[in-house]
Amino acid sequence: MGARRLPLLSAACALLALALVLAGDPYREDCRNKTYPPSGPTYKGNVPTYVINLDLPPYKRWVNVMNDKKTELKNVMKNIKTLVNEFFPGGKFSDFVEGKMVQLLSSLPHPFREEIEGIANTSGAVLGDVVLFNVFYEIFTVCTSVVAEDKTGKLYHARNLDFGLFLGWDIKNSSWTVTQQLKPLVVALEFQRNNKTLFRSANFAGYIGMLSGVRPGAFTLTMNERFSIDGGYLGILEWILGKRDGMWMGFLTRTVLENSTSYEEAKEKLAKTRLLAPAYFILGGNKSGQGCVITRSRAASLDIWDLDIKQGTWFLVETNYDRWKPPLFLDNRRDPAKKCLNQTKQENLSLSTIYDVLSTKPVLNKLTVCTTLMAVDGGHTETYLRECPEPCSPW
């Protein structure tokens, strides 16, 4: 590493925030056009594809992925531990977390526990670290998701995956160290049973939940973090303390992609299953009008926002705020995304125009790890690694 880093919520973040307030928002730009096919300084490459064979015992499923990505996984975990130790010096806290994580593992249901054990075994990473890596996304993911329908009734679903907020600001590079280190871990996955593809996803190697995925011909799904007082921290704490009546959101999305066969069934499961942490689920179906954003508290669905083509609602944009509330004034990615989709118009909607929207700052920002584009027809997915050169919003 060697780069100079600052731990967690640091002076640098506070200064950046202050600069944003004083300067208005210097990072806005006009809606981008013709950025697709991806090229230029905001594009950092494609990602490799792996088949995950669900007919194998869970312990063996991730061997190929982890053989290739073990070094990168260990690097990011090492960095996270260093950051935590800078914040809680002495190393006691991270030892404590590591120990708790191993205990936590024994309470995870099949097949998740076995898959995590297999990943630790293949990669040689510390078991507690692999568990932590799988818990992480319940807390630090800020994203933009779009589900939209074109004039012919075809559905598209896309997202920017923004990750690593407050996880080590690299002053020299002016980038988030964890965000940078996650890029080489991004993989496209094809989950098969009986040699048939059940679903595809874009993911981080070592993470067994699902952040974005498509079940060919049936539905598309992404999840975004929802900040709330009764947030992930509390649920995870309760889980550690033994109150285990909620499900990890990443494991719920995985279960839905693996075992739900229709849009309606997926919607029902995502709306009703008790969760550890609040979340937004963005779901697209396979016919006109099938698209929604489900706003979840831990216990219940607070709101289901559906596409409504007749009323002119042909797209839905979700970032990390309830749709009935204004976004945090420092972090308004929602209005720029909506503005650009409005400008695109339904007639011109396609994966390439959606890529334009997701390439416009600050929808694209320094936390953006990758962009995933999906179409339910044929279960099409494309994932591109991203970079946001200066001037660029830190989130």
Binding site for ligand NAG (CB under 6 A): 3, 30-33, 55, 110-111, 121, 124, 170, 172-173, 180, 194-195, 217-218, 254-255, 258-259, 261-262, 286-287, 335, 338-339, 342-343, 345, 347-348
Shortest separation between residue 264's beta carbon and ligand NAG, angstroms: 8
Residue 76 phi, psi dihedral angles, 5° rounding: -70, -35
Return the structure tokens found at 90.
């002495």
End-to-end CA distance of the chain: give it in Å, rounded.
23
Place of tokens 């997926």: 266
* Number of residue whose CB is nearest ligand NAG: 3
Write the CA distances from 45 to 37, 200, 305, 374, 381, integer angstroms.
11, 19, 34, 17, 15
Shortest separation between residue 386's beta carbon and ligand NAG, angstroms: 11
Cross-strand partners of 224: 280
Q: Answer left, alpha or beta for residue 194, where phi above 0 means left and psi between -120 and 50 means alpha.
A: left
Out of 31, 143, 292, 392, the active site residue is 143
Shortest separation between residue 343's beta carbon and ligand NAG, angstroms: 6
CB closer to ligand NAG out of 174 and 228: 174
Write the CA distances from 87 to 74, 92, 168, integer angstroms.
20, 11, 11
CB closer to ligand NAG out of 44 and 234: 44
Asked if residues 346 and 314 have their Cβ atoms less than 8 Å apart, the reply is yes
Burial (CB count <10 Å: 0-12, 13-18, 19+), residue 274:
middle
User: Quick one: angle between helices 112-123 and 92-105, nearest 10?
Assistant: 130
Nearest CA to 307 among 292, 295, 294, 318?
292
CB closer to ligand NAG out of 231 and 306: 306
CB closer to ligand NAG out of 258 and 303: 258
Shortest separation between residue 381's beta carbon and ligand NAG, angstroms: 17
CB closer to ligand NAG out of 55 and 390: 55
Shortest separation between residue 230's beta carbon and ligand NAG, angstroms: 26
Shortest separation between residue 93's beta carbon and ligand NAG, angstroms: 25
CB closer to ligand NAG out of 160 and 360: 360
For residues 371 and 393, give the distance between their C-alpha atoms in angstroms, rounded to a whole number.
Answer: 17
Would you call 370 a catalytic residue per the annotation? Answer: no
Catalytic site positions: 143
